[in-house]
């Protein structure tokens, strides 16, 4: 594939994501102040000293935004990727093997989904030790129930196609059928779902943070920063809008890239030919 085939919208998305990654990786070098450092008054205006002003505790908002990119990006992305890996693998296994395996997995999935996600997360996170890996895993497992539903539905449609039957006739194992025959034909709906789920992950993370079970203060994350500063809006302080805007921008960037990938995966000619 050539670079010039990538449409402008996808470039915007790619650049946005790369920028976020750049900030996340080099945060200590770029940020003018420390993540937890109280440097000024509460909710100071934007100035040359504090480019984006200060937050509800007088910490530099820009610095916290930059550090926040680390946790937000890492946790949301890792949770989404993990939830899709779990969801796709299990749902495809269920769709391909059918019978008792399908029943057990599907009913277990129903069971998981019958408990409200937030309450489930609160209970589990309250019991388990507070650590970022456990947070990611819990988010991923809860999210994977949705992916499972979608994955099983799309995989069932493909699993009855004759080319899958032809693969079975050849004697192929389940792994080949799942990853080589079915997955490439179900990428489009799954990618579209990924774009959505990623945005939800960021929101879910911020919800958990707000309830004190997500990212633990004083560590910064964008969702948490919205919650921290939301009271400022009443006084005309824009501090909450900045991390909010960043979340929106990141979600849009991810979806721009997903849209482009979607166009490629929905093409039956390997992305050549039909535009």
Partner 1 sequence: MPDDTKLLSVKDLKIGATIYPPGEDPQDIGIVHGVSFDLEKGKVLGLIGESGAGKSTIGLASMAYGRGGIRITGGEVLLNGEDILKLSKSGVRKLRGAKVCYVAQSAAAAFNPAHKLGDQVIEASLKHGLMTKEEARKRALYLFQVLGLPNPETFGDRFPHQVSGGQLQRAMTAMALCPNPELIVFDEPTTALDVTTQIDVLAAIKHAIEETDTAALYITHDLAVVAQISDDIMVLRNGHMVEYGTAQQIIEAPKEEYTRALVNVREMKKAEAQDQSDVILSVDHVSASYGGHFKVLHDVSLTLARGQTLAIVGESGSGKSTLARVITGLLPLTEGTVSFNGEVLPPALKQRSRDHLRRIQLIYQMADTAMNPRQTVGEIIGRPLTFYEGLRGKAKRARINELLEAIEMGDGFYDRYPAELSGGQKQRVAIARALAARPDLILCDEPTSALDPLVAEGILKLLMKLQKETQVSYVFITHDIAIVRAIADSIAVMLQGKVQRFGPKSKVLAPPFDDYTDLLLKSVPEMEIGWLERVLETRKMESAGN
Task: Report the residue number, 234 or 272, with the smaller CB distance to partner 1.
Answer: 272
Q: What is the rounded distance in angstroms from the CA atom of residue 120 to the CA atom of residue 12?
A: 37
- 8 touches partner 1 (CB under 8 A): no
Helix axes 8-25, 61-97, angle to 10 degrees: 120
Looking up tokens 């946005």 gives 16
Binds partner 1 (CB under 8 A): choice among 60, 181, 193, 228: 181
Residue 267 beta carbon to partner 1: minimum distance, rounded to whole angstroms: 8
- 100 touches partner 1 (CB under 8 A): no
Q: Of 16-24, 84-92, 123-131, 180-188, which segment contacts partner 1 by CB under 8 A?
A: 180-188
- 184 touches partner 1 (CB under 8 A): yes
Q: What is the rounded distance in angstroms from the CA atom of residue 149 to the CA atom of residue 107?
A: 11
- 269 touches partner 1 (CB under 8 A): yes
Residue 158 beta carbon to partner 1: minimum distance, rounded to whole angstroms: 9
- Each residue 214-253 as x (binds partner 1 by CB under 8 A) or -, in order, gives ----------------------------------------
- 259 touches partner 1 (CB under 8 A): no
Residue 97 beta carbon to partner 1: minimum distance, rounded to whole angstroms: 12
Helix (H) or strand (E) holding 141: helix 132-159
Longest CA span, the chain: 72
Are 225 and 64 contacting, i.e. CB atoms less than 8 angstroms apart? Answer: yes
- The residue count for binding partner 1 (CB under 8 A) is 21
Binds partner 1 (CB under 8 A): choice among 9, 97, 117, 185: 185
How many C-beta atoms surround the C-beta of residue 4 within 10 A? 6
Looking up tokens 């079915």 gives 182
- Each residue 159-178 as x (binds partner 1 by CB under 8 A) or -, in order, gives --xxx-xx-xxxxx------
Secondary structure of 172-210 in HEC code, one letter for each residue: CCHHHHHHHHHHHHHHHHHHHHHHHHHHHHHHHHHHHHH
Q: What is the rounded distance in angstroms from the CA atom of residue 74 to the CA atom of residue 142?
A: 17
Q: Of 90-98, 112-120, 254-262, 267-275, which segment contacts partner 1 by CB under 8 A?
A: 267-275
The reply to whether omega before 218 is within 30° of 0 (cis) is yes
Residues within the interface to partner 1 (CB under 8 A): 161-163, 165-166, 168-172, 180-181, 184-185, 268-270, 272-275
């Amino acid at each position: 594939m050539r670079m010039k085939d990538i449409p402008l919208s996808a470039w915007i998305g790619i650049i946005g994501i790369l920028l976020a990654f750049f900030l996340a990786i080099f945060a200590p070098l770029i940020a003018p102040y420390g993540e937890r450092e109280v440097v000024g008054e509460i909710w100071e205006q934007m100035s040359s000293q504090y480019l984006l002003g200060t937050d509800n505790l007088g910490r530099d908002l820009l610095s916290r935004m930059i550090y926040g990119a680390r946790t937000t990006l890492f946790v949301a992305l890792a949770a989404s990727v993990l939830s899709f890996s779990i969801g796709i693998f299990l749902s495809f296994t269920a769709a391909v093997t059918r019978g008792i395996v399908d029943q057990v997995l599907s009913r277990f999935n129903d069971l998981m989904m019958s408990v409200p996600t937030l309450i489930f997360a609160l209970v589990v996170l309250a019991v388990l030790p507070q650590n970022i890996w456990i947070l990611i895993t819990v988010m991923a497992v809860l999210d994977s129930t949705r992916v499972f539903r979608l994955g099983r539905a799309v995989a069932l449609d493909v699993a009855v196609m004759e080319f899958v039957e032809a693969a079975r006739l050849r004697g192929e194992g389940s792994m080949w059928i799942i990853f080589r025959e079915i997955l490439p034909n179900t990428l489009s709906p799954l990618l579209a779902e990924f774009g959505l789920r990623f945005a939800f992950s960021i929101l879910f993370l911020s919800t958990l943070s707000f309830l004190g079970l997500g990212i633990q203060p004083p560590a910064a994350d964008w969702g948490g920063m919205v919650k921290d500063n939301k009271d400022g809006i009443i006084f005309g302080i824009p501090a909450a809008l900045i991390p909010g805007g960043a979340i929106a921008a990141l979600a849009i960037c991810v979806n721009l890239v997903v849209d482009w990938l979607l166009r490629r995966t929905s093409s039956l000619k390997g992305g050549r030919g039909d535009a």
